[in-house]
């Protein structure tokens, strides 16, 4: 039985990880069941090389997502503490699987529409860049003030000692 209190954040992240794992493994099944669609020469790759790269990449993203789910299950269930090695590994694999799935999308579109794949890739790069630049900027919320706990919202402050 778990001796630690489970992490609510990790419990919520399990839903997201389940979604990405399901999407990735569904994409792998579709690739393997409709192999002819993914036997197209793309750039310098022959049709066979492209098929092998796409199927291996999607399978690797699925494997990473599966291991991240196992790590998050342990932290969410209270078996492993937050900020432990298992938690840090799960978080790293979470980001690898999310960004990996973002890489899958243009690859899946490439045999059908190279222009669409390029648009999706550019959109992902622009949105990720915007996200990371936004993370670096300080908050402009006037309610935040200088108290970092004020950003947590009402009822979220820890009890006074």
pLDDT digits (tens, 9 = 90+) for 118-159: 999 999 999 999 999 988 887 766 665 555 555 555 555 555
Beta bridge partners of 45: 42
Residue 33 neighbours by CB under 8 Å, 6+ apart: none
The answer to whether 76 touches 30, Cβ cutoff 8 Å, is no
8-134 belongs to which CATH class?
mainly alpha
CA distance 96 to 89: 10
The pTM score is 0.76
The answer to whether 98 touches 68, Cβ cutoff 8 Å, is no
Residue ranges covered by each domain of the chain:
8-134
Tokens coding 147: 């108290």
Q: How many helices (H) and strands (E) does the chain have?
A: 4, 0
More confident residue, 1 or 112: 112
């Amino acid at each position: 039985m778990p001796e630690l209190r489970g992490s609510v954040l990790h419990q919520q992240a399990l839903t997201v990880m389940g979604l990405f794992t399901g999407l990735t493994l569904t994409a792998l099944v579709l690739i393997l069941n409709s192999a002819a669609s993914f036997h197209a020469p793309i750039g310098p790759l022959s049709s066979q090389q492209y098929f092998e790269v796409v199927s291996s990449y999607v399978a690797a993203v699925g494997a990473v997502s599966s291991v991240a789910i196992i790590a998050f299950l342990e932290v969410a269930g209270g078996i492993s503490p937050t900020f432990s090695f298992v938690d840090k590994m799960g978080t790293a694999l979470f980001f690898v699987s999310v960004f990996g799935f973002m890489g899958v999308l243009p690859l899946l579109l490439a045999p059908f529409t190279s222009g669409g794949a390029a648009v999706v890739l550019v959109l992902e790069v622009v949105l990720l860049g915007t996200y990371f630049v936004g993370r670096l900027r300080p908050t402009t919320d006037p309610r935040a003030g200088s108290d970092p706990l004020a950003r947590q919202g009402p009822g979220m402050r820890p009890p006074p000692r």
